[in-house]
Structure 1
């Protein structure tokens, strides 16, 4: 029997309530325990996952769209992301057995829905991992002045990331996430200072711009990319001591990342002007961009590791859930060996994708359109519709939220359809001859 709570009862869940059908089973006697995270641990993990490569593409988005449109889009997407994250917490409380988007898909659409959502989320996070391998090659090509073949840097990045993925519990990844967040903040502030010092007096700053639709929407998807961490939220909630603390984690994430995004994107654009590079660290000048990329190395690796860890956990839980759950809580050959094998497999696939689509903005846009549109916007809206089926017009609050969630669902369709068009067009024009090459991919 599944414990269920209505939207109005979410805050009234008894303090001593135990989730039914918990994905990790009984942990009392296990060697490895998973449900140990405090709300600030989860918030930092979410920040490490979210505040990474997305922030590096935002200044170029400002250069394309202009200051005012970019600011409005950042604030709008942040608000929607905050709301959809809260809806996911409501869904988790309503159905405690949900550990992944696949579990949620099964509740809404049956076995077919489970497989579609499960495969989709795995591909989504592997694509995100690939974006970090790509950035790793750009980073070391920049620092070493293309010291060796880009393919070699890609392999090195893959191996380092795989090693960092070996811990099985999210609590152990928490320390790395703190380092990751510190790394990207320091790197971006060093970049802002360097660009400000060397900026010419005649920099052109556009409040609004006129650009082709494809270029404009490509920039919009790069902004949305900075808010597509929702795919991992169910996994993080499953490892929290108390899921009802998730709103604190969510607030920590949304306030922190939105503030950082606005400051970084506007300052770098205002000093670098319309010719700002993407990733933005490349605009810091010949010497300082090497320093900035060096400072960003922990983020380049660790943020990808957070995605990999969540991906491994989804596959791991699906394999051992139920009667075989004891393997997840033991240090046996099967328990450890399975985790290592899963990690190696997904990082190899991520490396293949990174070498196949080696262009930063276009890869981010493709990920956003194909996956982020649904996992951060479309599916959470469907969760609300599923939880409130038959009660859409029960009161004015329900009617208002029905309209809100239908609008969000429409936004997801728009991002997916138009995003696939503009990213596909850009990839075809930018990278058709650049895949699987030793050439320098740094600006």
Structure 2
């Protein structure tokens, strides 16, 4: 199969995966065309698929440039890590307590491996179709404007839900730190304002400078001064790690664990699985991350770095906290240690709680922003038109997320709902569907046994995504029906420590 461009004649695709085959001659850069590659594959007919230029076009001389990220800097790999390893890890220890150690660890590992592969599919699809900057653009390629609109609404909604979850978590953290010092609504409003202000930068490069908690520096790039403030990615990792060490020292209920919990009803057992799915639900932002790389091929490195760290960290933290704390684990897990340690850990985790929400918000806001000004140079300027429209979209998006946080003030339930409603599709069902479309774009023929097996495998991944969606929505609906959602727009304390801590 061959993919052609207006400038270079072809890009050869791998005969097994159907995605771009990387060779020594391949040179793919952010603003340029795909250069010709060669491959020894002979078992797939040559099929030509047109490829457009990338979403941001030629940025040479532009006042605002977007394709500035490199995976090895604190720009993409760390930014993806900050976006993924945030709220999800805080619910995982309790997931093990509900499911049991063995099925819990298996779910974390298996779903993580699958999420890594589906993320890889996104990166390869991006290489084959540089103009794609979002799932909505994929919808346009596959089925035209109707599917584009469906996926556009879906990807904006999932990001607004995640933004709302971060505002809710900020309220929980402040209640824990202050012992419910004031009305919870006031805390969430503070989180709303902070998120809005930090989300005002328009490029991921500038946001990344507030996404890593390790150093600060200043410099000048492209004639513009940047305050390079690296804050936050490590904060939640540090907070959870301190919690793990503290619980290991305190040993409140060491060894009181079960390998499997067969007594858990199916409808209740699905909920912690949805929390695990949520921990791998960053895929909706992957197209945007790849679009701002100087070399889109480096997305693979950023992905493997982020997923490798995430899966290992999830398993370690969940298993250790569950072993020492036993079945009585708070969620978020930072509250499973002593009151003082819990307050310290929540304080340390606050930067990521805020900034990871800002990263997701920037993806949603940027999609709407680029769509409004598509075909113009407004996005590359600092005019009142460009800045005013960006600020207006930021305001609407963050207000919507705050309303959602107040409407579903239950931490675990909101995370599970996000995992079921959106993670099932964007992380598990849609990437293999993209592979199936890409490999059977002209016909449904099966050119080899290996290709047939790959097709069956990707069909099974789609079925897995659909199962996660159906079962997850059933479990979330059951929980809401039985009053687990909490009181809407309430001043009540939404933080509940582990019972051994409360005693």
- TM-score normalised by length of structure 2: 0.85
- The alignment partner of 1:331 has SS state of coil
- C-alpha displacement of 1:94: 1.3
> Matches of 2:486 and 2:104 in 1, distance apart?
32
- C-alpha displacement of 1:71: 1.3
Q: 2:80 aligns with which of 28, 39, 46?
A: 46
- C-alpha displacement of 1:201: 5.8
Contact 2:410 / 2:486 at 8 angstroms: preserved in 1?
A: no
Q: 2:260 aligns with which of 208, 232, 235?
A: 208
Q: Does 1:113 align with 2:156?
A: no
> Matches of 2:444 and 2:22 in 1, distance apart?
19
2:129 is aligned to 95
Q: Does 1:255 align with 2:308?
A: yes
Q: Does 1:77 align with 2:111?
A: yes
1:14 is aligned to 26
Q: Does 1:24 align with 2:56?
A: yes
- The alignment partner of 1:178 has SS state of coil
Q: Does 1:181 align with 2:213?
A: no
Deviation digits for residues 315-366 of structure 1 (CA, Å, limit 9, x no counterpart): 11111121x1x11110000111111111111000000000000001110111
Aligned length: 441
2:396 is aligned to 345
Task: Provide runs of 4+ in structure 1 moved above 6 Å.
Answer: none
> Matches of 1:283 and 1:240 in 2, distance apart?
39
- The alignment partner of 1:274 has SS state of coil
2:42 is aligned to none
> Matches of 1:277 and 1:16 in 2, distance apart?
47
Contact 1:316 / 1:338 at 8 angstroms: preserved in 2?
A: yes
> Matches of 2:410 and 2:21 in 1, distance apart?
44
> Matches of 2:96 and 2:28 in 1, distance apart?
48
Deviation digits for residues 392-442 of structure 1 (CA, Å, limit 9, x no counterpart): 511233112111111110011101111001011112324455111000101
2:432 is aligned to 381
- C-alpha displacement of 1:36: 0.8
Q: Does 1:297 align with 2:350?
A: yes
> Matches of 1:433 and 1:78 in 2, distance apart?
30
Deviation digits for residues 142-166 of structure 1 (CA, Å, limit 9, x no counterpart): 1111111101111110000000001
Structure 2: give runs of 5+ residues left out of the alignment: 15-19, 34-51, 214-231, 497-503
Which structure has greater helix proportion? 1
Deviation digits for residues 377-405 of structure 1 (CA, Å, limit 9, x no counterpart): 11101100111013651123311211111
Q: 1:170 aligns with which of 192, 204, 209?
A: 204
Deviation digits for residues 275-315 of structure 1 (CA, Å, limit 9, x no counterpart): 10111011112111111100100011000000011111111
Q: Does 1:361 align with 2:361?
A: no
Q: Does 1:422 align with 2:472?
A: no
Q: 1:274 aligns with which of 312, 327, 348?
A: 327
1:66 is aligned to 100
- The alignment partner of 2:132 has SS state of coil
- C-alpha displacement of 1:7: 3.4
- C-alpha displacement of 1:200: 3.5
- C-alpha displacement of 1:177: 2.0
Greater CA drift, 387-396 or 47-56: 387-396
- C-alpha displacement of 1:236: 0.6
- TM-score normalised by length of structure 1: 0.96
2:46 is aligned to none
Greater CA drift, 258-267 or 9-18: 9-18
Structure 1: give runs of 5+ residues left out of the alignment: none
Change (3 A) 1:223 1:241: same
Change (3 A) 1:11 1:223: same
Contact 1:78 / 1:258 at 8 angstroms: preserved in 2?
A: yes
Contact 2:435 / 2:458 at 8 angstroms: preserved in 1?
A: yes
| CA-atom RMSD in angstroms | 1.5
1:245 is aligned to 298
Q: Does 1:403 align with 2:456?
A: yes
Change (3 A) 1:244 1:392: farther
Deviation digits for residues 168-210 of structure 1 (CA, Å, limit 9, x no counterpart): 1111111222222210111001111221222246641111112
1:329 is aligned to 380
Which structure has greater strand proportion? 2
Structure with max Cα Rg: 2
- The alignment partner of 1:328 has SS state of helix
Contact 1:357 / 1:427 at 8 angstroms: preserved in 2?
A: no
